[in-house]
Each structure stands twice: as C-alpha cells, then as structure tokens.
Amino acid sequence: MEAIAPPPANKVLCVDMDGTLLATDVLWESLLVLLKRRPLSLLCLPAWLLRGKAYLKHQIAQRVMLDPASLPYRDDVLDLLRKEKEAGREIVLATASDRKLAEAVGGYLGLFSAVLASDGKVNLAGLQKLKALEVYVGGKEFTYLGNGKADIPLWMAASEATVVDPSARLLKQAQKVGAGLRIMSPRANRLRSLLQALRISQWVKNMLLFVPLLLAHKVTGGAQAVSALLAFCSFSICASGVYIVNDLLDLESDRRHPTRRFRAFAAGALPISTGVLLAPLLLGSSVLTAVLFLPHLFTTALGLYVVMTTAYTFYLKRIAVLDILVLAGFYTIRVVAGAMAVEVPVSPWLLAFSMFLFLSLALAKRYSELVLMHANGETLARGRGYLVDDKELLQSIGVTSGYLSVLVLALYINSKEVTALYQHPQALWLVCPCLLYWITRVWFFVYRGAIQEDPLVFTLKDPASYVVGGFVGLLILTAL
C-alpha cells in the first residue's frame, strides 16, 4: 500500500462515510434494524422509494437510530483523520446517508468541521455531492477519500484522490482520473470472509442426521445412505443461510461481544448486501434439494427448523430458560430429520437421550458466554434474559441434565429393544462411563472458560473426544 503523505494544510480534506470511513453501509444496517424492530414498516418502502432515495433514507432514519459507537470504523482512515485534525486540517464529512445518521457519526468522532449529507430532498451522491462540496470550499482545493463508482466525479475534481477498499474494476476506473491516486485499505480476499460467514465448521452438528441410520443398523443400505447424505447437505446449506440471517440481525450485539465482533458482517469484512442476497439463495437451494430428492417429512422437519430459528432470532433468544430449551431443540430436530430422511422410526429412547444430552450442551454454551462476560466485568447478558450471576445455576442444571442422559442410556441397555439389535449388549455398559467422562470433561473446560464456542464444535479440536468416540465405536461393534 502506498503511504499517505500529509496534504497541504490549506486543502480541505473531504471524506465519504459509507464504505470509506465505515466498513459498512448505514442504509443497509438501518433496514435490518427496521426489519427486526418494526417489520411492518417495510411495507412502506416502495412508496418511500417512489419519492426518491433521499426521501427513503430520511424516512428510515426517522424510525431507526444506529449507535455510532458500535459501527465498524476503518482504523487506517480514522488514524489519518485524527492526525490531520491534530495538524489543524479542516475536515468535512460528505456522505449520501441521511443527515441525522451522518451528524450522529460526526458528533461521536468530533473530527469534522462540517457534515454534508442527504436531507430528505437531495440525495447527496455523485455530482450532487460535488456541487455541495464546491459550494462549501468556495474555490479552495480539496482532497477526497471515497470508495465507490459514484465518487469518480469527486476524484476528478479533487487535487488529490484516495480510493478506499477498491475492487479491481473500480481501481481500474479510478486510475483514469487526473489527480494523483492513492489507495487505502486495499481489499482483502473476501473468499475467506465468505467461508467464515457460512460457518462450515458448524456443519459438524449436522452429523447428527446420520445417527438414526447408524442406530438402525442400515448403513449398508445404499439408497438410505444416499438419502442421509443428501439430507446432510440440505440441512448444512440451510443452517448456513440461517447463520447469515442471524448475523445480519444481530450486528449491534455482536459488535459488543468480545469474540463475535470478529464475524464477517459485524467486522465489515463482507458487505451486508452480500448477506442479504446470499441468505435466501442458500435457504432456497436447501428447500429445493429437500423437495426434489427427500421424503416430505424431512422437508417438514427442515421447515420447522427454519421457523424455530427465525422465532429464536427475533424473540425467543431474549427469554431466559426458553432460549436454552430451543437451543437443545435445534440439536434434537436434526436427529428427527435424519430419521425422516431415511424413513426409519424415531426411537423414544433416542429422543429421551437426546433431550437431556443436548439440554446439557445448550446450557454449556450459554454458561460459557456468561463466564466470558464475567471475565470482562459485565453483569448483564445483552440481548439475553440472564444475569452473569446466573451461571452457577446454569452449571448445576447442565451437569445434572448431562448425567440424566447417561441414566437414560443405562435404562435403554437394560431394555428388551437392545436384545433385538445386539448379540452382546453387555459391552454397551462400558459406553456409560465413557459418556460420563466426556460430559464431565466438557463441563470442566466450560467452567474454566476454555470453551467459548458450541461444545460440539469444540470436540473437533479436542483429541480426547476423538479417543472417546473411537472407543465407543469399538464397543458398539463388539456388541453387534
């Protein structure tokens, strides 16, 4: 990246906001907040848009106020502005965003001599922004920092131009301007950010769809194995779509979280528009796969999962206890969906075992969040119905629930159903201490604050979990 030399002090430094000063677009952010808090207002969008972009932005800004402190600022741009401010440079924030939001950002930073923004009548972009800037500077030279195609007229008029986070196509167009062009925040490879947003590591939870097939001893059935694999793909694609929706609707709370603030959309590594386009594409592909290739009962289970996750995102996650039960239900519905995909009956024993085990894991996940908040000196879980002091209660319930799942397994081993499936069911008794060890180990790590993610995802990184899983597999093979 070419170093940014300090411009002459008599030149006004003008900087765009969306995509330049901020690694996001406040219009998209405002639309998402409007969707979450006042969804019926979205019905007015077509009528507002008919009266122009400036009017649309103004109406949204009247209903939504973003917290400037939570927005993702570009550090290198912000550092440059602060240095120029200390040097006595006049700095202007010039943006097409609505004046209300622009002034909130300007007031929070305290770096700008003036804020030029859309006012509900004029959309201050492109030539309109250039006209407003020329009036403001009154014939003086100015330098301009921008990031989009609409900024090309301003770069051409500026004595010095800086392009921020440019795509290859924009950079090629911008290099044709007459002013010396500088680059800030060169665009990183977005493929890595995209893969992070899809949360492919979380697909391990969808391995639960294979459990009914394995326990029914029908792994050798070619058609059923293919159905299970298709179900895994469909559910994984659906889950990625749901994760993106959840991330888009939780931007503000994620940015206040010690670890979730690094997620692709919260950090501004991916444009919100990418998520808005990608989420329905993923969800649609998932449903289409289910409808075309899998039993309709699996499609029903998939639809139930989408409904549950939507309700959780909008409302249920804020209700203490109920949110944990729903989280446990997300695991269990995967097991049920797997049974429906391969058309085998769902064992009541499996459902009971799943209910207690996954409740324990859901409590472990919530407990780990409270431990992290306690370490950061917080007392209230933002966006959740818990106090940090609730963690001891969650721990006791979680450990108890995990041990109850082992009790269900022990009762199952002693039932008549086992003798019909296994020739040497006595070997299964050794599974109980293995599971007791694993559950206790997970809770030890959660208690120490060593697990800050989904416990099932933690198992992928835990060598001891692989040893336990391998030994349990050998015991099941011995029992057959």
Digit-coded pLDDT (tens) for 82-111 = 999 999 999 999 999 999 999 999 999 999
Instruction: Write down which residue in 143, 167, 187 finishes a domain.
Output: 187
pLDDT at position 179, please?
Answer: 53
pTM over 0.75: yes
Residue 220 neighbours by CB under 8 Å, 6+ apart: none
Q: Does 66 map to a domain?
A: yes
Please tell me whether residues 315 and 464 are part of one structural domain. yes
Quick one: CA torsion of 36, 259, 67, 120, rounded to 10 degrees? -60
Q: Decide: residue 110, CB within 10 A, 0-12 exposed, 13-18 middle, 19+ buried.
A: exposed
Asked whether residue 5 carries a pLDDT value surpassing 60, the answer given is no
> Average pLDDT in the 254-267 region?
89
Q: Does 248 map to a domain?
A: yes
| Of 106, 126, 98, nearest in space to 31 by CA | 98
Q: Does 141 map to a domain?
A: yes
Q: Decide: residue 313, CB within 10 A, 0-12 exposed, 13-18 middle, 19+ buried.
A: middle
Q: pLDDT category, 219, cuts 50, 70, 90? A: low
pLDDT at position 216, please?
Answer: 78
Please tell me whether residues 99 and 211 are part of one structural domain. no
Please tell me whether residues 271 and 354 are part of one structural domain. yes
Asked whether residue 339 carries a pLDDT value surpassing 50, the answer given is yes
pLDDT at position 449, please?
Answer: 83
Please tell me whether residues 295 and 274 are part of one structural domain. yes
Please tell me whether residues 308 and 340 are part of one structural domain. yes
CB of 123 within 8 A of CB of 96?
yes
> Average pLDDT in the 188-202 region?
89
According to DSSP, the residues that pair with 12 across neighbouring strands are 142
Please tell me whether residues 249 and 195 are part of one structural domain. yes
Q: Does 466 map to a domain?
A: yes
DSSP label of 214: H
Q: How wide is the angle at C-alpha 247 spanned by C-alphas 242 and 250, nearest 5°? A: 125
Please tell me whether residues 195 and 183 are part of one structural domain. no
Lowest-confidence segment of 98-102, 184-188, 302-306, 462-466 by average pLDDT? 184-188
Q: Does 237 map to a domain?
A: yes
CB of 289 within 8 A of CB of 230?
yes
Of the chain, the end-to-end C-alpha distance in Å amounts to: 63
Please tell me whether residues 371 and 330 are part of one structural domain. yes
Residue type, 276: V
What CATH number did the domain enclosing 256 receive? Answer: 1.10.600
Q: Does 409 map to a domain?
A: yes
> Average pLDDT in the 10-34 region?
94
The CA–CA distances, whole Å, from 325 to 26, 138, 332, 362, 442 equal 35, 63, 10, 8, 19
pLDDT tens, 204-218? 889 999 999 888 776
Q: pLDDT category, 313, cuts 50, 70, 90? A: confident
Instruction: Write down which residue in 161, 187, 213 finishes a domain.
Output: 187
| Of 18, 22, 15, 1, nearest in space to 160 by CA | 15
> Average pLDDT in the 128-142 region?
93
- Structurally, the chain folds into a number of domains equal to 2
Q: How wide is the angle at C-alpha 215 spanned by C-alphas 210 and 216, nearest 5°? A: 100
Looking at the chain, the number of H-run helices and the number of E-run strands are: 21, 6
Here the tokens at position 25 are 């677009």
In angstroms, rounded to a whole number, what is the distance separating the alpha carbons of residues 133 and 153?
12
Instruction: Write down which residue in 187, 219, 250 finishes a domain.
Output: 187
Q: In which order are the strands placed within the sheet that holds 160-164?
A: 114-118, 91-98, 12-15, 142-146, 160-164, 180-184
pLDDT at position 115, please?
Answer: 97
b or e along 365-398 (b: 16 or more beta carbons within 10 Å of the residue's beta carbon)?
A: bbbbbbbbbeeeeeeebeebbbebebbeebbebb
Q: Does 3 map to a domain?
A: no
Residue of 452 and 202 predicted with greater confidence:
202
Q: Does 6 map to a domain?
A: no
Please tell me whether residues 427 and 338 are part of one structural domain. yes
In angstroms, rounded to a whole number, what is the distance separating the alpha carbons of residues 156 and 176?
9
Q: pLDDT category, 4, cuts 50, 70, 90? A: very low
pLDDT tens, 417-445? 888 888 888 999 999 999 999 999 999 99
Residue 73 neighbours by CB under 8 Å, 6+ apart: 21, 22, 23
CB of 160 within 8 A of CB of 10?
no
Please tell me whether residues 62 and 93 are part of one structural domain. yes
Please tell me whether residues 212 and 180 are part of one structural domain. no
b or e along 403-438 (b: 16 or more beta carbons within 10 Å of the residue's beta carbon)?
A: bbbbebbeebbeeeeeeeebeebebbeebeebbeeb
What CATH number did the domain enclosing 181 receive? Answer: 3.40.50.1000
Instruction: Note down the domain range covering 112.
Output: 12-187
Mean pLDDT of the chain: 90
In angstroms, rounded to a whole number, what is the distance separating the alpha carbons of residues 191 and 199?
13
Please tell me whether residues 309 and 172 are part of one structural domain. no
In the chain, pLDDT over 90 holds for what percent of residues? 67
